Structure 1
Amino acid sequence: MRIWPVQDAKARFSEFLDACVSEGPQVVTRRGTETAVLVPIGEWRRLQVAARPSLKQLLLTDSARTDSLVPVRSKARRRQAIPLG
């Protein structure tokens, strides 16, 4: 995995893109700090499939269950009403 300063990645974008396709992920740094990664589309799609589903996706499935999303009510006692008068 090659590391590219952002200035080099911008100035030589075609080379940067070719390196990604031929060598795999390429890291971009800004002021010496790793900031982003360019990955080939095949690897990106593989990562998306392997990623955990979002809450929205889980709730939209046929087997969506909300029982575990609702917290258990506490057994707190309520105050008794004081009779007036």
Structure 2
Amino acid sequence: MWTLQDAKNRFSAVVDAAIAGHPQEVTRRGKPAVVVLSAAEYHRLVAEAAVRRESFAEHLLAFPGGDVARAQVRPRDVAF
């Protein structure tokens, strides 16, 4: 894990490690900020996600639906 300042100072080392197959985490102010990974790994992840993703229509059609029980609520009396 790299601090942002260290990653800036040694960016070549960060990139070399990512290309070697070791994603590099970078923190900002002590909190995880980004992960540097190789372009090949990024494209693999995007392609894998696209294969598993269903269309929006398929998502809607997969809704269990059926009869949804609704609360039987009566409106209260209001005096004007």
Task: Give 5+ residue unaligned stretches, structure 1.
Answer: 70-85
Runs of 4+ residues deviating >3 angstroms:
66-69
The one of 54, 58, 61 aligned to 2:55: 58
Q: C-alpha offsets along residues 15-35 of structure 1, whole Å, 9 cap, x if unaligned?
A: 111111124100000111111
Q: Is the 8 A contact 2:24 2:35 kept in 1?
A: yes
What are the residue-to-residue correspondences of 1:1-85 with 2, within 5 Å?
A: 3-51=1-49, 52-53=52-53, 58=55
TM-score, structure 1 as length reference: 0.57
Give me the identity figure in percent.
39
How many residues align? The count is 69
Superposed CA RMSD in Å reads 2.9
Structure 2, gaps ≥5 residues long: 64-80
Give the TM-score normalised by structure 2: 0.60
Asked which structure has the greater CA Rg, the reply is 1
Return closer, same or farther for 1:9/1:58 CA change in 2, 3 Å cut-off.
Answer: same
